Structure 1
Amino acid sequence: MKYSKTILIVDDEPRTREGLKKTLETWAGSSYEIVTAENGDDALAFIAERPVHLMLTDIRMPEMNGLSLIHAIKEQGRNPVVILLSGYSEFEYAQEGIKLGVVNYLLKPITKAKLIEAVEQALLVCDSRERAGTIEKIVDHQLMEAKQHDVRMPQPIQAAIQYVEAHVQLPVSLREVADHVHLNASYFSSLFKEKMGMNFSEFLTRSKIQAAKKLLLSTSLPITAIAEEVGYQSTKYFMTLFKEYEGMTPSQYRKDVPKGDIV
């Protein structure tokens, strides 16, 4: 069964650990995978092998406490949303948790209603992070940097940018765009490179690749169809360009990048 997200419960008390798991399994149904670890080392080993979206961890555990576990996870380059659990009202722990990005702090014993409310709120944070991460992966920063000053650019260059963005699904040519903005093709080419910091061909390709990345993450269209949607008749040529600019094939990109809600 493929779950949308994995929730990890880390607690050295078997009764508490299993109680939390049972409550969340009843609430989650088949939507989320609920797994447990009895100590920090087991949690680290699990997270090293598989993605964990939300972690609930006790603060006081032998050998590695909850805060040390969060530090170790961050050193692995992982960043699950975290809820801290404690049998004690320890404000200094809560403060340190906030610095580490913990989204909630629950005191034991935890009622089912409080637990589920906290988990639902934490999953919203998780969704928000995924959307932000996805948008970050889609955006071509060189393209954005080139375009960020477009309000101060000559009107023909602004018009050319708008034309490319409106016709990204077509095999647009430099001469076609130069004609559209009523400039000689050679002069337009020089002016575009001077003002944008990249030549027209690179701008066009980056625009098409960025549009393709959005389609790869927001649809299940085959690669051939996506190539056509961004104006490439040759799928092989599209794949070559994509790998040149992104360092991976379109299929690898679709597989490796987390899918948030694309807008």
Structure 2
Amino acid sequence: MKTILIVDDEPRTREGVRKTLEAWSSGQYRIETAASGVEALAWLQNNEVNLLITDVRMPEIGGLELVEKLNEMPHPPVVIVISGHPEFDYAQKALQFGVVEYLLKPLDKTKLVRAVELALKRKDDIYRIERMEKLIDPKLMETVQQEKVYSTQVREALQYLDEHLHESISMRDIADQLHMNASYFSVLFKEQTGLTYSEYVTRRRVQRAKELLVSTRLSIAEIAEQVGYQTAKYFVKVFRALENVSPGQYRQNVMTTEERIQ
């Protein structure tokens, strides 16, 4: 269950925000409160939060100081700042810290809920980006970034490979498909992508396997077949050589991370 933490030293505001969000969430979110920045930091030592709603002016640790400390965390929450004063300097600094919204007291319930929905969507977007970064092979990413300088033959080869990754495709098969000499195609492919044909195919198959491992419940054998390996045993060997873990361990690690972040 995703968690929202409300931090405000004014009991009336703190409880008002809590009640509004509890009514809005209908039990879908865990709503927690803290009466100060110090209390919030103590709570965060043993808990994770997706969205932080904090007042700017509080004793000891103010809202922006709290946000600055949270930005040092591996997975900081998204933040909504609330204030009783329309101070430009506070608002400007809040934006520099990546705060999603700056709301003025007295809070409008509709604007508060809208800001919370926007913030949680932003958190989901950040999570998806982080997850994709873990999936993407950096060497394959380099080939994508360089695609604009590829020759027509290499672009066609990459597209054909993507569409037939589940098949056993030799370099000669691709060269024949493109009506090219296999030796010339080999040199051209390495020159433009920075990878040999064999290296590219292996990395692309493992990349596809990683996507299937986190997005489906297919068995390791089924995934091996879908990415072009005739035996699960050989697929596991290739996967481990590139990722330093087995496909099963990779799936478990990503799922565990997903539960922790969410």
Match among 170, 190, 193 for residue 173 of structure 1: 170
Give the aligned partner of residue 103 of structure 1: 100
Give the aligned partner of residue 130 of structure 1: 127
In structure 2, the CA distance between the partners of 1:62 and 1:146, relative to structure 1 (3 Å rule), is same
In structure 2, the CA distance between the partners of 1:49 and 1:252, relative to structure 1 (3 Å rule), is farther
Instruction: Give 1:185 deviation, angstroms.
Output: 3.6
Alpha-carbon separation, structure 2, partners of 1:242 and 1:101: 38
Identity of aligned residues (%): 48
In structure 2, the CA distance between the partners of 1:45 and 1:219, relative to structure 1 (3 Å rule), is farther
Partner deviation per Cα, 1:64-121 (whole Å, 9 max, x = no partner): 1111111111122333110001223322111110111111112223232222122112
In structure 2, the CA distance between the partners of 1:214 and 1:109, relative to structure 1 (3 Å rule), is same
Give the aligned partner of residue 141 of structure 1: 138
Point out where structure 1 has 5 or more consecutive residues left out of the alignment: none
Instruction: Give 1:173 deviation, angstroms.
Output: 2.5
Q: How many residues are aligned here?
A: 256
Match among 223, 226, 231 for residue 223 of structure 2: 226
Q: Which amino acid aligns with 2:200?
A: F
Indicate the SS of the match to 2:59. Answer: coil
Indicate the larger mover: 60-69 or 214-223. 214-223
In structure 2, the CA distance between the partners of 1:106 and 1:165, relative to structure 1 (3 Å rule), is same
Contact between 1:133 and 1:258, CA under 8 Å: does it hold in 2? no
Indicate the larger mover: 20-29 or 212-221. 212-221
Partner deviation per Cα, 1:145-188 (whole Å, 9 max, x = no partner): 22444454343322221111111222333232233223344443
Alpha-carbon separation, structure 1, partners of 2:78 and 2:5: 10
Indicate the SS of the match to 2:81. Answer: strand
- Whether 2:148 is the aligned partner of 1:156: answer no
Give the aligned partner of residue 113 of structure 1: 110
Q: CA RMSD in A?
A: 2.6
Give the aligned partner of residue 250 of structure 1: 250
- Whether 2:208 is the aligned partner of 1:214: answer no
Instruction: Give 1:45 deviation, angstroms.
Output: 4.2
Alpha-carbon separation, structure 2, partners of 1:163 and 1:194: 19
Match among 44, 51, 68 for residue 41 of structure 2: 44
Indicate the SS of the match to 2:71. Answer: helix
In structure 2, the CA distance between the partners of 1:23 and 1:235, relative to structure 1 (3 Å rule), is farther
Point out where structure 2 has 5 or more consecutive residues left out of the alignment: none
Alpha-carbon separation, structure 1, partners of 2:174 and 2:113: 56
In structure 2, the CA distance between the partners of 1:140 and 1:83, relative to structure 1 (3 Å rule), is same
Q: Which amino acid aligns with 1:24?
A: L
Give the aligned partner of residue 183 of structure 1: 180
Contact between 2:209 and 2:224, CA under 8 Å: does it hold in 1? yes
Give the aligned partner of residue 65 of structure 2: 68
Partner deviation per Cα, 1:184-243 (whole Å, 9 max, x = no partner): 444433332222211111111221222223323333334433332222233343344334
Alpha-carbon separation, structure 2, partners of 1:222 and 1:172: 23
Instruction: Give 1:256 deviation, angstroms.
Output: 4.9
Match among 10, 13, 17 for residue 20 of structure 1: 17
Contact between 1:6 and 1:52, CA under 8 Å: does it hold in 2? yes
Indicate the larger mover: 182-191 or 67-76. 182-191
